[in-house]
Amino acid sequence: MVKHSEIMKLREEEISILIEHLSRHTDEFENPKIVMIGGYALRAFTSLSRYTRDCDFVLRKLNGWNLDKIQKLLPMDLSTEVFEKRDTYGFLRCIKLFKANGKSAKISIDFMEGEVRGRTKEQVFFITEKFLQETRKVKIPIAEKITEIYIPDYTDYVLLKIMSVRPSDIRDIATLIWKNGIPDDLKERAKKALAHPEILEKNMKLIIDDIFDKRFLNSWKGTFVTTEFTEKTKEEVLKELKKLL
């Protein structure tokens, strides 16, 4: 029987191979400029990390579509699952199916051009020139390799997490606030980066309620596989988050 942790490790190795391929074919993420968001980017802000089967990137929308170029340069063993191009944004999801010790497994790689869009019409984050200017290149561990890649400014990264507000994002938010605190310019940045800045306060209430739940602690520990986050830590994080209301 293949353990879940073993499958996740194999997924991460596949993700690492994909990222290395992408780096080679984009002049090390410079042409076009590609920025990593999502779970893997979390490793740039904390020593804690979690497994994820997805890898997420954003690009700025200018003349033409960078997504057309991206789709053509990806490895042949990836298949396109979703490809949308609208007036101001585009979305490309490619997947790879592979065998992990006889068991089927899947990874996906997402590219969002122009805007990051969530599950509702309110969830829209603009990928602007300012966003790109504030990014920085860092080295993060993926599988057994160290990858150098662009990641967002801390404020933008936290804002993306708050906008998305999925269960995994809430656990990430608790980790980020615990380790790095709340960005001083979060509310001001939200006014320019989000199509609906009011979602910040709305989602903060959801995040606080979720972290307050007695089940959150076990959920967090199960995700990051450590007991470092305690009930006291949780209370400290909640205290900080309530300042945003």
Give the containing element (helix H, strand E) for 207: helix 199-212
CATH top-level class for 1-152?
Answer: alpha beta
Question: What integer pLDDT is reported at residue 1 of this predicted model?
Answer: 46
CA nearest neighbour of 55 among 103, 25, 21, 24: 21
- pLDDT (tens place) for every residue of the chain, 245 residues total: 456 678 888 899 999 999 999 999 999 999 999 999 999 999 999 999 888 889 999 999 988 999 999 999 999 999 999 999 999 999 999 999 987 777 788 999 999 999 999 999 999 999 999 999 999 999 999 998 999 999 999 999 999 999 999 999 999 999 999 999 999 999 999 999 999 999 999 999 999 999 999 999 999 999 999 999 999 999 999 999 999 98
Question: What integer pLDDT is reported at residue 53 of this predicted model?
Answer: 85
The token pair at 74 is 């990806």
Question: What integer pLDDT is reported at residue 49 of this predicted model?
Answer: 87
CA nearest neighbour of 37 among 15, 22, 59: 59
CB atoms within 10 A of CB 102: 6
Question: What integer pLDDT is reported at residue 2 of this predicted model?
Answer: 53
Report CA dihedral (127, 130, 134, 137) to the nearest 10 degrees: 50
pTM of structure: 0.95
Using CA atoms, how far apart are residues 55 and 242, in angstroms rounded to an integer? 30
Token match 């920085």: residue? Answer: 136
The token pair at 243 is 């300042």
CA nearest neighbour of 110 among 123, 92, 125, 127: 92
